[in-house]
Amino acid sequence: MNIMYLLIPIAIVFSGLAIWGFFWSVNTGQYDDLESPAHSILYDDDEHLIPDDAKPKPLKPQDKTE
């Protein structure tokens, strides 16, 4: 029973980290464009066939993370 005093706080911390990670990824735009990468792999050798709205957008210098 004493292990529960350790496991419950650890589970709460991990749950909090998972929720924080999800909201961080949504706020930084990770889920903004889910279809372009799927379409661009189909036209890998045929760049001229990719519609302009399906091409991945280049990152701005401030968007890059290290």
Over residues 9-30, the pLDDT tens digits come to 999 999 999 999 999 999 998 8
pLDDT in tens, 28-57: 988 887 777 777 676 666 666 666 666 666
Give residue 24's identity as a one-letter amino acid code: W
Cα 12 to Cα 4, 5, 9, 30, 53, distances in angstroms: 12, 12, 5, 25, 42
Nearest residue to 34 (alpha-carbon basis) of 54, 59, 14: 54
Single pTM value for the model: 0.52
Cα 28 to Cα 18, 37, 38, 57, distances in angstroms: 15, 17, 20, 15
